[in-house]
């Protein structure tokens, strides 16, 4: 390890993030500790979250991740950063709900006649928490319960949805997750269900202090603007949060190559002696690919156009070589067979091909299937 207190290079920052994420060498801990190292695992598509977590753990499979979620309850599936579905460590849920609840709420994307007032929002959140306490309800059952506790206005179908319209109250579902009164429960057949995790959020300032510390430990050096983008929060608010932590001596400023002034946890200035090495496959919306900044360094050259969707990370699974995105990949499952197609953006060396074959085998272990590798063009689009 080397120590840097004045200037941090991209190579140093990237290598440390990869090491702390369990991507340099798999961790020998548990699924919840792996998720804590990532901060959160994007879980809109459950199989992508299972692969993200499993690839970071020595010998883990998707069954281990599912057991941690549904049997051990060491993980919780709920609404996390950016209002999207994530896996979070159950032990850190008070911190997360306290911090997410402290982010200033905007007006939202809905028309004025669709939006709810502050009082209506609080009424709905209380109704959701009450309805889900000690229960596991489908979305239709929860909707009926919310309307019964509030009034017909909450059930008016005014929200544009995938096919048709949703009831008004559903625009604050993610806020119910952020308040700690809603999370996902095990599916009932093919139907998703929800429950109340019974979480008491930490006080906002204390929770934000903890989240900033965890974020900078995992992804620092970083700026308030990076933090705001990761949370989909106002930049001015993030700047004030960082200023408060700096004033308390909890974070320290460094010069970050290609960025300028950025921040680390105070005293956390050890970095790996060498750059990141090796071949890795990361699934959709992997935490490392989303949170690492500056993005143009992680997605250099042709990777920026091929592996991002309008600058947004996560829409394509990515091939990582020596710490940088060097291609995209896709998997298609049929029974136990998993057809893996990898599209490198430049020819692979013999060593890189061996590393890729090892990663594909690891994907097969995690996903409990038999993988078959093809190196060639990925013809499907984002989210395929």
DSSP 340-356: EEEEESSPPPHHHHHHH
**Res 171 pLDDT > 80:** yes
Q: At what angle do helices 204-219 and 224-231 cross, to 10 degrees?
A: 110
What's residue 6's pLDDT?
75
Q: Confidence band (pLDDT; 50, 70, 90) for 1?
A: low
Q: What is the mean pLDDT of residues 189-203?
A: 96
Is the whole model's pTM more than 0.85, yes or no?
yes
Instruction: Tell me the domains of the chain and their CATH numbers.
Output: 2-9+203-271 (1.10.10.10), 107-202 (3.30.420), 279-375 (3.40.630)
What's residue 3's pLDDT?
54
How far lies 92's CA from each of 21, 70, 81, 214, in Å? 17, 17, 14, 11
DSSP string across 254-315: EEETTTEEEEEETT--EE-SS---SEEEE-TT-HHHHH-SSHHHHS-THHHHHH-BTTBTTS
**Res 310 pLDDT > 60:** yes
Q: What is the mean pLDDT of residues 136-160?
A: 96
Q: Are 171 and 162 in contact (CB under 8 A)?
A: no
Name residues whose C-beta falls within 8 Å of residue 138's C-beta, 6 or more positions apart in sequence. Answer: 188, 191, 192, 193, 194
How far lies 175's CA from each of 101, 178, 200, 281, 316, in Å? 8, 5, 14, 33, 28
Q: What is the mean pLDDT of residues 267-294?
A: 95
Name residues whose C-beta falls within 8 Å of residue 7's C-beta, 6 or more positions apart in sequence. Answer: 254, 255, 256, 257
Neighbours of 264 (CB within 10 A): 21
What's residue 54's pLDDT?
98
What letter would DSSP give residue 76?
E
Tokens coding 237 = 């608010």
**Res 356 pLDDT > 70:** yes
Q: What is the mean pLDDT of residues 19-38?
A: 96
Omega before 221 cis (within 30°)?
A: yes
Q: What is the mean pLDDT of residues 220-224?
A: 97
Arithmetic mean of pLDDT over the chain = 95
Lowest mean pLDDT among 8-12, 153-157, 377-381: 377-381
**Res 107 pLDDT > 80:** no
DSSP string across 103-157: SPP---SS-TTTSPPHHHHHHHHHHHHHHHTT--EEHHHHHHHHHHHH-HHHH-E
For the stretch 313-348, pLDDT in tens is 889 999 999 999 999 999 999 999 999 999 999 999
Coil/strand/helix, residue 320? strand
Omega before 184 cis (within 30°)?
A: no
Q: Confidence band (pLDDT; 50, 70, 90) for 162?
A: confident
Q: Confidence band (pLDDT; 50, 70, 90) for 384?
A: low
**Res 2 pLDDT > 70:** no
Kindly state the helix (H) or strand (E) to which residue 188 belongs, with its residue range. Answer: strand 183-188
Q: What is the mean pLDDT of residues 6-22?
A: 95
Coil/strand/helix, residue 191? strand
What's residue 111's pLDDT?
80
What's residue 175's pLDDT?
95
Neighbours of 339 (CB within 10 A): 15
Share of the chain above pLDDT 90, in %: 91
**Res 195 pLDDT > 70:** yes
Q: How far apart are the first and last CA of the chain?
A: 40
Q: Are 43 and 91 in contact (CB under 8 A)?
A: no
Name residues whose C-beta falls within 8 Å of residue 310's C-beta, 6 or more positions apart in sequence. Answer: none
């Amino acid at each position: 390890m080397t120590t840097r207190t004045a200037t941090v290079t991209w190579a140093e920052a990237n290598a440390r993030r990869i090491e702390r994420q369990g991507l340099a060498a798999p961790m020998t801990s548990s699924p919840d500790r792996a998720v804590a190292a990532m901060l959160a695992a994007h879980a809109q598509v459950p199989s992508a979250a299972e692969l993200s977590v499993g690839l970071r753990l020595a010998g883990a499979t998707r069954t281990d991740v599912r057991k941690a979620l549904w049997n051990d309850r060491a993980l919780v599936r709920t609404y996390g950063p950016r209002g999207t579905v994530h896996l979070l460590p159950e032990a850190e849920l008070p911190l997360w709900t306290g911090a997410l609840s402290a982010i200033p709420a905007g007006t939202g994307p809905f028309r004025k006649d669709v939006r709810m007032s502050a009082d209506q929002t609080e009424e709905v959140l209380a109704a959701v928490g009450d309805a889900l306490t000690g229960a596991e309800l489908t979305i239709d059952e929860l909707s009926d319960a919310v309307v019964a506790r509030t009034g017909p206005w909450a059930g008016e179908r005014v929200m544009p949805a995938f096919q048709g319209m949703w009831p008004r109250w559903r625009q604050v579902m993610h806020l119910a997750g952020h308040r700690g009164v809603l999370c996902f429960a095990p599916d009932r057949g093919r139907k998703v269900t929800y429950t109340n995790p019974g979480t008491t959020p930490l006080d906002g300032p204390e929770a934000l202090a903890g989240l900033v510390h965890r974020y900078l430990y995992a992804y620092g050096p970083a700026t308030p603007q990076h933090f705001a983008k990761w949370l989909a929060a106002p930049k001015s608010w993030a700047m004030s949060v960082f200023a408060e932590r700096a004033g308390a001596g909890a974070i320290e400023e460094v010069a970050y190559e290609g960025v300028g002034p950025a921040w680390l946890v105070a005293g956390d200035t050890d970095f790996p002696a060498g750059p990141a090495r090796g071949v890795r496959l990361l699934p959709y919306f992997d935490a490392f690919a989303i949170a690492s900044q500056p993005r143009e360094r992680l997605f250099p050259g042709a990777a920026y156009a091929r592996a991002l969707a309008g600058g947004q990370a996560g829409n394509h699974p990515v091939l990582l070589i020596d710490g940088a995105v060097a291609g995209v990949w896709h998997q298609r499952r049929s029974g136990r067979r998993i057809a893996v197609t990898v599209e490198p953006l430049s020819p692979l060396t013999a060593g890189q091909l061996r590393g890729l074959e090892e990663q594909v085998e690891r994907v097969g272990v995690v996903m409990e299937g038999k993988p078959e590798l093809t190196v060639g063009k990925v013809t499907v689009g984002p989210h395929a």
